């Protein structure tokens, strides 16, 4: 059984971190983000805000779906995703 708190899932802290990175940031959106000139760089707060806007933005806050999505996202290691995106950005700059 896969739990949101399982450690070291596919090289990430846990399943939630891996899945959110895969579904939200490991595609065109990730490329868009690493091409941005952000004054503070790519921060955990920035990636969390983007993911919350995408996942929770259209869901009624008192709904069952919102509650489940919010609980899943609360397990995510946002710092790890930001680090991953910053590493991708650095690699791209060094090409």
Instruction: Quickly tell me which residue has 């000139």 as its tokens.
Output: 37
Q: Smallest Cα–Cα separation from 55: which of 32, 34, 72?
A: 72
Which parts of the chain sit beneath pLDDT 70?
Answer: 1-7
Q: Residue 21's pLDDT is what?
A: 96
Q: Is residue 65 one of the residues assigned to a domain? A: yes
DSSP 52: H
Split into its structural domains, the chain has a count of 1
- CB-based contacts of 8: which residues, under 8 Å, 6+ apart? 14
Q: Is residue 31 one of the residues assigned to a domain? A: yes
Residue range of the domain that includes 26: 12-93
């Amino acid at each position: 059984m896969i739990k949101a708190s399982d450690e070291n899932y596919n090289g990430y802290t846990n399943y939630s971190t891996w899945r959110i990175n895969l579904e939200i940031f490991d595609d065109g959106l990730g490329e868009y983000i690493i091409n941005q000139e952000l004054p503070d760089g790519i921060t955990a707060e920035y990636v969390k805000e983007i993911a919350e806007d995408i996942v929770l933005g259209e869901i009624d806050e008192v709904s069952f779906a919102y509650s489940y999505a919010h609980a899943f996202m609360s397990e995510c290691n946002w710092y790890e995703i930001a680090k991953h995106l910053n590493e991708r950005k650095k690699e791209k700059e060094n090409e």
